[in-house]
Amino acid sequence: MNTTEKNGKPRKEKDTGSTALALPESIFQNFMKPFQDFMQPLFPSSMSSLLSEFGGREQSTDLQDRGDHYVLTAQLPGFEKKDVDVRVDSNVLELKAESKSERQNKKDNGAWTQRSHSYVHRYMTLPEEVLSEKVSGTMKNGVLELKLPKKEPKALERNRRVDLK
């Protein structure tokens, strides 16, 4: 029997004398979908599925050009100043935020531990170079605000005619 592989090339199979059907993968996926849908809220398999449960939103980030500097505002709910790490180099900004917590409860009928872990990691290319040594920022109530002073633009060298003697 000739069948094709995923890359489209023909593949020969050994004839075992069996009359078993080769089922497409989509049948198995369709069979498992109700179970996955049922289990998803209990055991989210990835952060993207967890984000989609809460509206599918990433952290909101806004960059405003204020003439001689940029102002970056990032919504980081649930994070404190100690959880946030910001690095700036020329025209690249890296933002990391990580928070872990653990809560334990001991009762007569048993004990349980609740753990949570939140993580954000973003790279941004800024439209112009900034003075990384003069960047300042604040973090209040889950809102990060950075002031990014722009570098002075280099004077454009003009094409100049040279008079020959």
Mean of pLDDT over the chain? 75
Q: Which amino acid is at 110?
A: G
For the entire predicted model, the pTM comes to 0.55
Tell me the per-residue pLDDT of 6-54, one tens digit each, with 9 for 90 and over: 555 555 544 444 444 444 555 656 666 676 666 666 655 444 444 444 4
CATH of domain 58-149: 2.60.40.790
Q: Where is pLDDT greater, at 144 or 53? A: 144
Ranges of CATH 2.60.40.790 domains, the chain: 58-149
**What is d(CA 59, CA 101) in angstroms, rounded to the nearest whole number?**
20
Both tokens of 100, joined, read 């872990």
Q: Rounded to the nearest 10 degrees, how much is the dihedral formed by the CA atoms of 146, 152, 153, 154?
A: -140
